[in-house]
Structure 1
């Protein structure tokens, strides 16, 4: 967890420490007032009383100013920790080769990270605060009467016994609660998403029964965890009562027999001891909370470690899309590439050569390895054997490729955002790209401000496909990887999209499971994947 603590500004810790020091005297303030009040007599002067009153008021203000500083800085530190944690989780998911699990990620951020902050970081701050109060109180008590003070302190540590005895069970209860809660959330998401299927197959009631069972397991696990924590707290409070009363009785005996201790001083020790026992009890409770976060801490540490060891091509990203700054290519060569998954050989010495302006259609049965080729080119997978070269050198920059997805993702934003994706691209360039894909007149008087809607609800399938093409036009990609972009479109929209696509001055590698040969544009070659190898089916003249 060191990297999390290091994410906080040092100045925040220093101000928090200052507030904590002032706050620590809150535990002995009332005790010292009672002790000093006992020293006043009927003949005390007004000046002595005023001095005492003003001094007490000043100390009170100073202490609560410290409380204010400590609370504000604790909130600031937790804010910095929250920002760091949520950024780490988001970055780790965004770095995944495949699309992240959206629901799982949101659940982890909203539930697990909140649990970590509430049951780990906040208790740690409270423990530190309690240690400060306890330390000042102990020093104060010892300064009045070491024997009585040490008796109070020694007996005070017995309240730690219940927590130590229940520590293992608390860990198990916390882990079980986390597991049962996640099981419920996962099944809830599953049954809501598949409710139509359950209804169609008369299985909705069974699904509801299982959902009810997982809900009850989750709530029971939380109940068992809370019940165990409460039981530990009960025995701790019983011991604390014994620790309060017995030393006080012994103190009264000392006063009656030796007269070495005054009643106000004994009361002061008694009141200060409350600031020893209470911090100890609360500290035990806070440690119990911390133990419930063991699994979450393990996950977070793994995420942070993954982020520190996984490369991320941020340096390759740019807001400069000028064609002059994008290096042209002469030849892309896939040389006898073999790729296996488990015991299945998907590609077996597959070879393909791509030149500028080529139009290549890769076909094959489902599972033949078409998508694997794209993943190899994009660097998601590495070949088991063979090589992928660009102009005679190993391919290292997947940024040369643009991807036209079968189901492009459309953000619930304007068309301008969906094209620029937050990067700095001029309005003129955006409108030019829309004009190229023939969308300028379809989206109203100001197409860039047109709202796409959630998942592109305000757009047709053909318009979504053309926005995806426009994204790649803006970024001047010399090779486009086209993933069955027209598979879900009607014939008219598919023909329109394909006409725009094939008119681009780029090389195109398209994969398709179902395709209409007559719908292809001129000057393309078809390669069929058979047993992991390329078989040239048809080839026409490649344009120069």
Structure 2
């Protein structure tokens, strides 16, 4: 019974992968059923290749024993033809497997594009990119491909065993008894292998973050003659990444070594029994050759199954991370949504709002905040760093929910509804600019009339730039071929084009020169929308132009009077 456990376990692995048991990964959503079925069918056919080679090898000895010359060439040509057929099946199998991998890559990346995977801060970008380039490649090669390889290997083992049993039942049972041990050896180091893989993924993510910092801020590093210090820091980070990879690979190698040693011990001991049976006249040489040749393939195939399972164990942390990413609300994918998600309102009201993180409930960041922003008002929020201004904005826009209190829009008809991030336009210190055309940066792929685009450009002060460069001018990554003011104006033009009624500005002019900052502030103060702006660098004469000015300090909000 133990000899059949690898077959049972392999089939269980297929079910676990495809149906998503144990919450590891629901692969069904990333694969195409017809291509999976075709790959399984071709894997089953390809699995007969080794058993056929085993039979054909023993058949050569049988031909020599029969001494019938007229049968030699017909059988040789027939065997050669079938070998070529199996080569074609192998080619078709590899193509079908590659198609499954391509479908997986397409669908899983589409899923991540529409999941909370994309919701990260600047510090998390490098980690996300590392997951796309490193972790998913491991999932593809060390999990998805290995599943089909296991199916193929199971067929090879079963058919080869059947042939060996037919040749000599007793000796084959001896080989089976020893060979059944090998697939279980990876369990000895499975947990350690998964732990090493997780450590490697974390170290690579840290290295990617470090390199992203260096590449984005290289001028600062060079101008301050700090490259030597960054080299020292980078040497440590690189060393940790390289060491983590070495330890992961060494652990995998150690696991493979254990599996290999056990496999060869389990191969040579049965051979000794077979030789003794031949010497004693209990077995013909032809039968021994058939069983021994078959046993080599049996052991090697069992070893392949064990190594495949070992690779799959190393990939489980990546699968768990993939399963943890949740899809965003489906309504965000609709192309027919109105650009104005808010509509008419009289005020946005925050009543007795308190917020604390769940792991530090005793230390609220905001306490009993009361704020009323009327439609069309321009409101300024100031306060020292760490006072909770950005947290207040996240509550105001519905990105976070208060621990207590309410945040609601109110209408003239007396209705109230909760805010949603899609109702707002935002301008942050780091501009949201795409490596695409000016037109795409404004429309984000949605269709707008030329008149609407021109009107938005005019309101944002970008008409001259658009006239000089054209709407199809390519914007570099992060807007590196634009000035700081041009990047802000693009964001404002986008908000105007989408007819957003509520604009939130979080340190939006902090990195601009005074003249450009003043020009952007003039646009904000005269814009036909409600504006809430966070800025603790604003000049006193400019702050007096806002309809209301609030100061946030130590979690408390107070109104500033002139």
TM-score normalised by L of structure 2: 0.82
Determine whether 1:298 maps to 2:320: yes
Q: Secondary structure at the match of 2:130?
A: helix
Contact 1:191 1:207 in 2 (8 A): no
Q: Deviations over 1:153-194 (max 9, x none)?
A: 22333445xx53x63335324523541563365157437736
Equivalence for 2:203: 183
Tell me which of 263, 272, 286 is aligned to 1:246.
272
Equivalence for 1:329: 345
**Partners in 2 of 1:96 and 1:394 — Cα distance?**
24
Contact 1:334 1:351 in 2 (8 A): yes
1:214-363 pair list within 5 angstroms: 214=240, 217-218=243-244, 220-222=246-248, 224-243=250-269, 245-253=271-279, 256=281, 263-303=285-325, 307=326, 312=329, 314-315=331-332, 318=335, 321=338, 327-341=343-357, 342=360, 343-363=362-382
**Partners in 1 of 2:207 and 2:123 — Cα distance?**
18
Structure 2 stretches of 5 or more lacking a match?
A: 1-16
Say if 1:227 and 1:384 are closer, same or farther in 2 by CA, change over 3 A: closer
Say if 1:174 and 1:32 are closer, same or farther in 2 by CA, change over 3 A: same
Q: Deviations over 1:362-410 (max 9, x none)?
A: 2233333322221002222211222122224131433222212233122
Structure 1 stretches of 5 or more lacking a match?
A: 540-544
1:58-69 pair list within 5 angstroms: 58-69=81-92
Contact 2:379 2:549 in 1 (8 A): yes
Say if 1:155 and 1:58 are closer, same or farther in 2 by CA, change over 3 A: same
Contact 1:174 1:293 in 2 (8 A): yes
Contact 2:210 2:234 in 1 (8 A): no
Aligned residues: 525
Q: Secondary structure at the match of 2:344?
A: coil
Equivalence for 2:403: 384
Query: Considering only CA atoms, is the larger Rg found in Structure 1 or Structure 2?
Result: 1
Determine whether 1:109 maps to 2:132: yes
**Partners in 1 of 2:249 and 2:339 — Cα distance?**
61
TM-score normalised by L of structure 1: 0.85
Equivalence for 1:172: 192
Tell me which of 211, 233, 238 is aligned to 1:207.
233
**Partners in 2 of 1:150 and 1:35 — Cα distance?**
19
Determine whether 1:375 maps to 2:394: yes
**Partners in 2 of 1:17 and 1:229 — Cα distance?**
28
**Partners in 1 of 2:307 and 2:555 — Cα distance?**
61
Q: Secondary structure at the match of 1:332?
A: strand
1:409-488 pair list within 5 angstroms: 409-488=432-511
**Partners in 2 of 1:476 and 1:301 — Cα distance?**
37
**Partners in 2 of 1:488 and 1:167 — Cα distance?**
55
Contact 2:278 2:284 in 1 (8 A): no
Q: Deviations over 1:95-149 (max 9, x none)?
A: 5375571111111222222223322332332222111011011112222332233
**Partners in 2 of 1:52 and 1:146 — Cα distance?**
26
Say if 1:174 and 1:154 are closer, same or farther in 2 by CA, change over 3 A: same
Say if 1:503 and 1:20 are closer, same or farther in 2 by CA, change over 3 A: same
Contact 1:149 1:269 in 2 (8 A): yes
Say if 1:210 and 1:471 are closer, same or farther in 2 by CA, change over 3 A: same
Contact 1:477 1:506 in 2 (8 A): yes
Equivalence for 1:402: 425
**Partners in 1 of 2:244 and 2:172 — Cα distance?**
46
Q: Higher mean Cα deviation, 79-88 or 455-464?
A: 79-88
Equivalence for 1:542: none
Say if 1:339 and 1:25 are closer, same or farther in 2 by CA, change over 3 A: closer
